Structure 1
Amino acid sequence: MRERSVRPHRRTFRLLGSLLLVTAVGASLTGAAPAREPSSPASGPVPLDRVIPAPASVQPGGSPYRITRGTQIRVDGSRETRTVGEYLADVLRPSTGYRLPVTDHGRGGIRLRLGKGPFGEEGYRLHSGRSGVTITAARPAGLFHGVQTLRQLLPAAVEKDTVQPGPWLVAGGTIEDTPRYGWRGAMLDVSRHFFSVGEVKRYIDQLALYKVNKLHLHLSDDQGWRIAIDSWPRLATYGGSTEVGGGPGGYYTKADYKEIVRYAASRHLEVVPEIDMPGHTNAALASYAGLNCDGVAPPLYTGTEVGFSSLCVGKEITYDFVEDVVRELAALTPGRYLHIGGDEAHSTPHEDYVKFMDRVQPIVAEYGKTVIGWHQLTGATPAKGALAQYWGLDGTSAAEKEQVAAAARNGTGLILSPADRAYLDMKYDKDTPLGLSWAGYVEVQRSYDWDPGAYLPGAPASAIRGVEAPLWTETLENSGHLEFMAFPRLPGIAELGWSPAATHDWADYRQRLASQAPRWEALGIGYYRSPQVLWPAEGGADAG
C-alpha cells in the first residue's frame, strides 16, 4: 500500500495534534539546527568535489577565483543565457553587496556561455582560475545546473539575504558534469493538505539547488481536488473545500497553476500534473453525483484511509469527465507528461480497471501528452511510450515485481520511487514527530544507499528513466513540515538521479551532506539532524 490507514479523529487532529506537532517540530526545526557562523574563510575555498550531487568528473588545480566588487557576470547574446545570468546575480547580490552587472562585454569575471560540447541537454563544464569562472553548456538547463554547482562552491553565507564579509573564493580547476538519468523528480502531495503557490515556489527553489528537473504535483485525491476545471467547476469549489483533519483546503485557479508552471520552468523544472484515478477519487465523487454508479454523492472525506473510492467504469459520463479534465489540464501544461495515478484502486474490479485504462490512455494521447501511472498500471496494458512509477518495497511480492519488470522488458520506462527508500514522508525513527511508518523507518543512509540501475530484479537497466522522491502530506501542513521531512534525504535522491554510479559512496556522501547544513541554515531551511551524519559544530542530533 502507498499509505497505510491512519485515520485521525478530526477534533483530535486539529486541536491536540496541531499543538503536539507545532511544539515537537518547532523544537526540532529550531533546536536541531542552531544558528552559527559559516566555516571560517581561513579554511579556504570549497573543494570542487564537495558538492551535491557528486560531479561526473573533477580536476582540481590552479589558483582560485575571487568574486570582488568589480566582478561582472558575462553572457553571450542569447536571451536564455542572460536569464540565467540575472538569476545568478539575484542569488549573489544580497550577500556580497556587489553590483555584479550582467553584460555581454568585458573580460574575466563569471562567464556563462552556450557552446558545443559533450554536454547533452543538461550537462555543463565549469572552469575556475585566477582570471575568472566560465560555465559552458549546450543548453540553458546545463548553464542553470552549472550555476547551482557554483553556488555550492562558494561559502554558505552566500545564500543569506544580508551583506556578509566574504571572501568569495571559488576553488581552481575544472568540473565536467552530465546527469546519469533524465528523470530526477520530486512529488508534492497538495491534496491531503493544500499548499499555497508561495509554498510550492519555495519547494521548487530547494529542488533546483540539487538539480532536480521534474515537479510532480499530486492534484487530486479523496481529501481534496486542487485544480480549477471550467467544465466541472464543483471539483474545485466543493471538492477542494477541505483536507485531512477537516481544514479549509483550497485549490489553484488556472492562473495560479500557470504561475507554478512558469516559476518551475524558470528553475528548469518541468511540472508533471497528476489526476489520480479510478481510485483516490472521493473528492470528485462528492462533487458530482453522476460519477457514482448509484448516482448518490458520498460526503466529503477528511480521513486517511485508502482504496475505498472508484469512478464508475461502466458509465459514459465517466469518460466525458476524464476527457474534459485531461483536455483542460493538458492545455495548461507545456510539459510532455500527464500522470493518471492508477494505484490502490481496491474498489475497482480488475477487469474494470483494465477497461478503464484502455479507455483513458488514448484520451491522454489525444491531447498530446504521454501517460505516466503508478506501477499498478502494468497490471493493465501500458500505452506505447508510457512510464510506470514503481513505489514498491523491498518486501513487495516477487510476482508484483516481475509484473513491473516484464512491462519494462516490453518497452515501458520506469521511474523508481521505492517507498522504503525514496518516500520523504516516512518517519526517520520511532520518535519522529511527523510522517508515517507503514513502509518502515527511513533514515538518511537507507534513503541514499541503493542503486537505481540494479534495484528491480528482471528490469533492464535501459528501462530506468530515473528516480523520484514523493512527499505525501497526511501529517504535513506547512513549509516547515515539508523541509523537516525532505532534508536531509532529498539531496541523496537527487544524487542518485544525477551522479555516476561509480561516485556512490556513503562514507564520502555523509561528509558532503554534513557540509550542506550551514547552507540550509543560511536559506532558512529547517532540517532533521540525523545521528548518522556528523554535522558541523556538534556530532549527532535528534529530532527534538
Structure 2
Amino acid sequence: MTPRRTLPLLLSSLLLAGAALSGSGSGAAAEPAAGPAVRPLGAVVPAPASVTPGGEPYTLGRGTAVRVDSADRESRAIGRYLAGLLRPATGYPLPVVDDDAARGGILLRLDPRATALGDEGYELRSGPGGVTLTAHAPAGLFRGVQTLRQQLPAAVERRTVQSGPWRIAGGTVTDTPRFAYRGAMLDVSRHFFTVDQVKRYIDQLALYKINKLHLHLSDDQGWRIAIDSWPRLAAHGGSTQVGGGPGGFYSKDDYREIVRYAASRYQEVVPEIDMPGHTNAALASYAELNCDGVARPLYTGTEVGFSSLCVPKEVTYDFVDDVVRELAALTPGRYLHIGGDEAHSTSHADYAAFMDRVQPVVAKYGKTVIGWHQLTGARPAPGALAQYWGLDRTSAAEKERVAAAGRAGTGIVLSPADRAYLDMKYTKDTPLGLSWAGYVEVRRSYDWDPATLLPGLPETAIAGVEAPLWTETLSESAHLDRMAFPRLPGIAELGWSPAATHDWESYRLRLAAQGPRLSALGVDFHRSPQVPWE
C-alpha cells in the first residue's frame, strides 16, 4: 500500500506524466489514436486516503452492466444513479442487474464486515475484469461512485454521446473521510433560488463528497420557508430580496422535495432560522415581534446588525416554538441552525437569555443546535455545534473563547471567512462578491489545516468544515458557479482527505484536471491563474 506521506508526490508525478501523454504541441508525445490517456488512479478531488496503482485498466463497453445486490433497495438506487450518469456520454445501455445475473462490469457491494470503512468509506478495485466498489453502508457506495466517475475522462459528464474509450486505471483505492461534517451553505435569503436551482447545487456538491447542505432560510431581506402558524412570514417577509425584486419562498412541499433530493445524494439538509438578529423580514411581517409593537418596513439593502427580536416578550418564544416545531417536522436530519451572529442590536444579557430559552426548544423537537460561533459567548447547550467564521485577524481572546468551548465539549465547524467564504472576491477585479474578509484566491482558500486554525482547539473537537456562499451580490446559478468553483472542491478536500495528503502543488494539478469536467457539466468556473488548467 502506498504510504500516505508519499501520496501527494506520487499523484503530482502521475498527473504530470498524464499531461505529457495528452499534449499536442511540438516535442509532446502523440495522442494515442484510441483516445485520451488513462487518468492516474487516485488523481481525483478530494484526494483519497490510500492509493495502490497497478495492473491493466478496466474499459467500459457496450456489454458492461452495473451489478447490485437485488435485496438492497439503496444499492439498486445508487446503481441506477451511476448508470444514469454514464449512459448519455457513453451511449451504452449499462443495465442495472442482480449481482448473480452477470459477471465483470461494475459491482456495487455492501459488506457488513467492512466496519473499518465506517458509514462513508469505500474501497474501489479496478482491473481488466471489472470494477468492484465495496462499502459498509450505502453512503460509502455513493461516495465511491464519485471517485469512479472522476477516474473516467471528463467527457463522460456530457449529455450527448462522446467518443471513448472509457477506461478506469487499475489498482485499489481505500478511502474514508477525515471529518464527519463536510458542509456547504447556500444563502437563499438575500436572493431567492428556486427548487431546481438548489437541486443543481446539490448535484455539484455531490461530486466532491459534501454531506451537509446548510440552507440559510431567513434574514433581514427575506423569509423563505412557509410556516402555517405564522403565514405572513413567507407571504409578506418573503416578498422581496436584496435590491428589490419579487423574492420568493418554499412551500412545505418545495422544502420536502429539496430534502428528498439531497437525501438521494446522501446530503443532510441543515435549515437555519437566524435569530435574534438578522430578523427584519419577521419583524416586518408581525408587529408584535417588535418591542414597540410597530412593524418594520421590508428591507432590500445589505447592512447587518440593526434588527432584533424582542427578547423580553413572551410572544417571541411562542413564535420561536412554532417555527422550530414546524421546521423540525419537515427536517429528518439531526441539526437545526439558530444563527446567532451579528446581533449588534441585542444586549449581551438579552442575547444570553434568548439562547437559554431557544436552545431547549430545539432539543424539545428532537434536533441538535448549531449556531454561529457567537453562541460560545452565551451558554451552548450540551451537544451543540458552533460554526466559527472568524478571520486571521480575529482577536486572540475571541479565538480562545471558541477553542475553550471546543475543549469543554462543544463541537466546532470551521468556516473561516477569509478562507472558506465562497462569496469573497478572488481579487480586486472580481466583478461579483464582497471583500470585507479580504481577497480569497484559490490557494488561500485551500492552503490551511483545520487542525491548526484555532490555537488550543484539539482536532477531536472539530466536527468538520463548511463553505458558506452568501448571496448579497449573487442572483443567478451562473453567479453561484463562478464563486463556488474552483474554491469549493478545495474546502471539500480539507474535510475529506487525511492531513498527510495536503499539498498545494499536487492539488493544483488535480484541480486543473477538474476544469474540463466542470465545463462538461456546464459550470462556468473562475479560471484562476494559480491553476494550470487543462
**Taking structure 2 as the reference length, what is the TM-score of the superposition?**
0.93
Q: How far, CA to CA, are the matches of 2:183 and 2:317 in structure 1?
A: 29
Matched AA of 2:201 = Y
> Which one of 39, 42, 49 corresponds to residue 56 of structure 1?
49
Q: Which amino acid aligns with 1:442?
A: V
| 1:349 corresponds to 2:343 | no
Q: Kindly report which structure 2 residues correspond to 1:55-454, keeping only aligned pairs within 5 A, or say none.
A: 55-77=48-70, 78-104=72-98, 105-115=101-111, 116-117=113-114, 118-454=116-452
For residue 28 of structure 2, what is the aligned residue in structure 1? none
Partner of 1:528: 526
Per-residue deviation, residues 181-203 of structure 1 (Å, max 9, x unmatched): 00000000000000000000000
Q: Deviations over 1:392-415 (max 9, x none)?
A: 000000111111111111100000
Letter in 2 for 1:483: D
Give distance in 2, aligned partners of 1:94 and 1:485: 28
**One-letter code aligned to 2:420:** A
SS in 2 for 1:248: coil
- Quick one: distance in 2 between partners of 1:374 and 1:217? 14
Aligned partners of 1:527 and 1:287: how far apart in 2?
38
Aligned residue type for 1:375: H
Q: Give, in whole Å, the separation in 1 of the partners of 2:480 and 2:282.
A: 26
Question: CA–CA distance in 2 between the matches of 1:400 and 1:265?
Answer: 36
Cα deviations across residues 62-119 of structure 1 (Å, max 9, x unaligned)? 1100100000000012101000000001000001111100011211100000002111
Instruction: Provide the rounded CA distance (Å) in 2 between the counterparts of 1:268 and 1:86.
Output: 15
- Percent identical pairs in the alignment equals 77
The whole-number CA distance in structure 1 between the counterparts of 2:103 and 2:322 is 55
Alignment deviations for residues 346-399 of structure 1 (CA, whole Å, 9 cap, x no partner): 000000000000000000000000000000000000000000000000000011
Q: Which amino acid aligns with 1:479?
A: S
User: Does the 8 A contact of 2:105 with 2:131 survive in 1?
Assistant: yes
Matched, 1:476 2:469: no
**Residue matched to 1:18:** none
Give the Cα separation in 1 of the matches to 2:189 and 2:36.
Answer: 46
SS in 1 for 2:117: coil
- Say whether residues 1:47 and 2:45 are aligned partners: no
Distance in 1 separating the partners of 2:532 and 2:267: 31
Once the two structures are TM-superposed, the CA of residue 454 in structure 1 deviates from its matched residue by: 1.3
Contact kept, 8 Å, 2:277 with 2:340, in 1: the verdict is: yes
Letter in 2 for 1:140: P
Secondary structure (helix, strand or coil) at the match of 1:186 reads strand
* CA distance, structure 2, for counterparts of residue 42 and residue 314 of structure 1: 70
Q: Give the distance between the partners of 1:402 and 1:176, measured in 2 at CA.
A: 37
Matching of residue 509 in structure 1 with residue 516 in structure 2: no
Give the letter aligned to residue 450 of structure 1. W
3-state SS of the aligned residue for 2:532?
A: coil
In structure 1, the partner of 2:6 is none
Query: Equivalents in 2 of 1:230, 1:54: separation in Å?
Result: 45
Q: Secondary structure at the match of 1:176?
A: strand
Does structure 1 retain, via aligned residues, the 8 Å contact 2:35–2:164? no
SS at match of 2:336: strand
Question: 2:12 maps to what in 1?
Answer: none
Distance 1:458 1:168 in 2: 48
Name the SS of the counterpart of 1:49 in structure 2.
coil
Specify the alignment match of 1:29 in structure 2.
none
The 1-side partners of 2:491 and 2:383 are apart by 24
CA distance in structure 1 between the partners assigned to 2:533 and 2:67 by the alignment: 36
CA–CA distance in 2 between the matches of 1:146 and 1:535?
Answer: 25
- Amino acid corresponding to residue 150 of structure 1 in structure 2: L
Aligned partners of 1:484, 1:321: CA distance in 2, in Å?
38
Amino acid at match of 1:44: A
Deviation at 1:49, TM superposition (A): 2.2
Q: Any conservation in 1 of the 2:42–2:151 contact (CA below 8 Å)? A: no
Displacement after TM superposition at 1:44 (Å): 2.0
Query: How far did residue 453 of structure 1 move?
Result: 1.1
Q: CA deviation at 1:43?
A: 4.2
Q: Is the 8 A contact 2:225 2:255 kept in 1?
A: yes
Gaps of 5+ in 1: 1-35, 537-544
- Alpha-carbon deviation of 1:135? 0.1
Deviation, 1:42, is 4.3
Counterpart for residue 28 of structure 1: none
SS in structure 2 at match of 1:50: coil
**What amino acid does structure 2 have at the position aligned with 1:401?**
K
**Alpha-carbon distance in 2 for matches of 1:457, 1:257:** 39
1:485 CA displacement: 0.1
Indicate the residue corresponding to 2:453 in structure 1: 455
What is the identity, as a one-letter code, of the residue corresponding to 1:253? S
For the Cα contact (< 8 Å) 2:109–2:133, is it kept in 1? yes
Q: Which runs of 4+ in 1 moved over 3 A?
A: 39-43
Partner of residue 6, structure 1: none
The one-letter code of the counterpart of 2:88 is: P
Distance in 2 (alpha carbons) for counterparts of 1:53 and 1:260 = 25
Cα deviation digits, residues 249-272 of structure 1 (max 9, x gap):
000000000000000000000000
Q: Indicate the residue corresponding to 2:15 in structure 1.
A: none
CA distance in 1, matches of 2:260, 2:56: 39
Q: 1:279-299: per-residue Cα shift (whole Å, max 9, x none)?
A: 000000000000000000010
Displacement, 1:222? 0.1
After superposition, the C-alpha distances for 1:405-439 in whole angstroms (9 at most, x for unaligned) are 11111100000000000000000000000000000
**CA offset at residue 444 of structure 1?**
0.2
2:468 is paired with a residue whose SS is: strand
Q: Secondary structure at the match of 2:42?
A: helix
Are the aligned partners of 2:36 and 2:153 in contact in 1 as well (CA < 8 Å)? no
Instruction: Report the 3-state secondary structure (helix = DSSP H, G, I; strand = E; otherwise coil) of the residue aligned with 1:389.
Output: strand
Instruction: List alignment gaps of at least 5 residues for structure 2.
Output: 1-23, 25-30
